[in-house]
């Protein structure tokens, strides 16, 4: 028994198609959301956070947290576990993770022209504007994911064994086309194909073990032999290679480990200490030189720091990001610090805000604390004093998160 990997654009009769395939084959449907729920359960991450990290835009703090790499490594392990079984219809963006070497899984894509997809959305009760917005969002997510996984857009037909233009076809007709290809001898399971599925799992487990320690090399696996590709400019390559070998030597199924210097891999960084997530600190100040220097000094002290230069940028950033701590200036052109404080506490009260200003007064201090600021500091501030306050604010955030987790158990 084999399986099917089904990638599709939205509004191509995908729900009806999945039902037709499941009814005809008796196979189990596994969608992106099923895998994400599994990742959230096994990783301890919030489901929405996992979904955003895997399929959303990369966070401005990602270079410090490796949140996207961690979530995607977890997703690869989930897909690999699914492929070790049979009788599965793997649906959605996750289908793009199935390598061509896993030949007992039929890789299918269903596309259609934009005008046809919008028409179907209208028939489902959506407005044309709403449909266009949703199509763009979904297609952008698929494109970003495909470029990350393959370095090519999802429209590249080399990713699939069969590509179906939905057009005027019914879901039943599309299912029949898929099953015609599915029953060809080339889709039968072989030992080589089974090994390729196992290799996907070994590579995924190795990648997860490395990223949880703060390392992000390219990980490949063939017949249990793991190859790590590290940027050739990495400092102390020999030491880095030994460290990474030690991390994945105990991963199940690994027979050998080779570390290669490569010019097309992400730079890996030596991490002498246990990798842990740093506080995510958003700096908001219109004095560019000051805030950039402050950000650099925080980064050298292992804080995930990101600067913006006015209140409007800060509020825009908060639409997609949730820092742990905000260090906020009061007097800025345009949107003032007090307005940022008020709107932040209303929209995301879990963010602790430290006001850092050179133009404040005791009245300002009292107002800020009343509005929910964690602390109020005057410029110039000693970096040691500031980091101590950030640590206290971060501890409060962490404690609240822990209470929330314990309360939900």
- Write the DSSP assignment of 275-312 as a string of letters: --PPPEEEEE-S-HHHHHHHHHHHHHTT-EEEEESSHH
Asked if 176 and 48 sit in the same domain, the reply is yes
Question: In terms of C-beta density within 10 A (0-12 exposed, 13-18 middle, 19 or more buried), how is residue 120 classed?
Answer: middle
Asked if 238 and 294 sit in the same domain, the reply is no
Asked if 60 and 148 sit in the same domain, the reply is yes
> pLDDT 10s digit of each residue in the chain, 409 long?
689 999 999 999 999 999 999 999 999 999 999 999 999 999 988 898 899 999 988 888 988 888 999 999 999 999 999 998 889 999 999 999 999 999 999 999 999 999 999 999 999 999 999 999 999 999 999 999 999 899 999 999 999 999 999 999 999 999 999 999 887 766 777 899 999 999 999 999 999 999 999 899 999 999 999 999 987 665 678 888 899 999 999 999 999 999 998 765 554 444 444 556 789 999 999 999 999 999 999 998 889 999 999 999 999 999 989 999 999 999 999 999 999 999 999 999 999 999 999 887 899 999 999 999 999 999 988 999 999 999 999 999 988 876 765 555 4
Asked if 178 and 205 sit in the same domain, the reply is no
Asked if 122 and 216 sit in the same domain, the reply is no
Structural domain count, the chain: 3
Domain containing residue 315: CATH number:
3.40.50.2300
Asked if 161 and 216 sit in the same domain, the reply is no
Q: Is residue 14 part of a domain?
A: yes
Q: Is residue 204 part of a domain?
A: yes
Asked if 185 and 52 sit in the same domain, the reply is yes
Domain containing residue 252: CATH number:
3.30.300.130
Question: What angle, 0 to 180 degrees and rounded to 10, lies between the N-to-C axes of helices 383-408 and 288-300?
Answer: 70
Domain that holds residue 246: 198-262
Q: Is residue 267 part of a domain?
A: no
Question: Taking the model in full, what pTM does it have?
Answer: 0.82
The first and second tokens of residue 404, run together, are 């929330």
Q: Is residue 274 part of a domain?
A: no
Q: Is residue 376 part of a domain?
A: yes
Asked if 307 and 395 sit in the same domain, the reply is yes
Q: Is residue 269 part of a domain?
A: no
Asked if 177 and 58 sit in the same domain, the reply is yes
Assess whether the previous peptide bond of 79 is cis (omega < 30° from 0): no
């Amino acid at each position: 028994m084999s399986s099917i990997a089904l990638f599709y654009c939205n509004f191509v009769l995908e729900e009806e198609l999945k039902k037709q395939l499941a009814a005809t084959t008796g196979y189990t449907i596994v969608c992106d959301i099923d895998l994400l729920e599994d990742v959230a359960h096994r990783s301890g991450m919030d489901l929405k956070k996992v979904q955003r990290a895997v399929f959303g835009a990369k966070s401005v703090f990602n270079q410090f947290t490796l949140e996207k790499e961690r979530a995607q490594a977890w997703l690869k392990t989930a897909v690999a576990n699914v492929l070790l079984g049979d009788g599965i219809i793997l649906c959605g963006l996750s289908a793009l993770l199935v390598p061509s070497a896993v030949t007992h899984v039929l890789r299918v894509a269903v596309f259609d022209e934009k005008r046809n997809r919008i028409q179907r959305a209208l028939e489902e009760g959506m407005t044309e504007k709403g449909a266009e917005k949703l199509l763009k969002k979904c297609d952008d997510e698929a494109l970003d994911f495909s470029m990350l996984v393959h370095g090519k857009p999802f429209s590249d037909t080399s990713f699939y064994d069969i590509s179906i233009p939905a057009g005027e076809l019914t879901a039943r007709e599309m299912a029949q086309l898929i099953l015609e290809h599915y029953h060809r001898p080339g889709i039968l399971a072989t030992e080589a194909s089974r090994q390729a599925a196992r290799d996907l799992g070994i590579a995924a487990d190795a990648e997860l073990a490395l990223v949880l320690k703060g390392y992000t090399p390219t990980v490949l696996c063939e017949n249990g032999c793991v190859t790590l590709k590290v940027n050739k400019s990495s400092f102390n390559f020999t030491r880095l290679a030994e460290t990474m070998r030690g991390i994945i030597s105990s991963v199940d199924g690994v027979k050998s480990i080779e570390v290669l210097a490569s010019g097309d891999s992400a730079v890996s960084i030596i991490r002498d200490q246990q990798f842990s997530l740093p506080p995510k600190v958003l700096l908001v100040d219109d004095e560019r030189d000051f805030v950039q220097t402050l950000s650099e000094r925080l980064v050298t002290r292992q804080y995930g720091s990101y600067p913006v230069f006015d209140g409007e940028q800060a509020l825009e950033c908060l639409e997609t990001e949730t820092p742990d701590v905000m260090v906020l200036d009061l007097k800025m052109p345009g949107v003032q610090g007090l307005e940022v404080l008020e709107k932040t506490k209303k929209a995301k009260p879990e963010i602790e805000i430290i006001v850092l200003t050179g133009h404040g007064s005791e009245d300002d201090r009292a107002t800020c604390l009343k509005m929910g600021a964690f602390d109020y500091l005057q410029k110039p501030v000693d970096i040691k004093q500031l980091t101590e306050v950030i640590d206290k604010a971060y501890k409060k955030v962490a404690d609240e998160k822990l209470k929330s987790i314990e309360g939900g158990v």
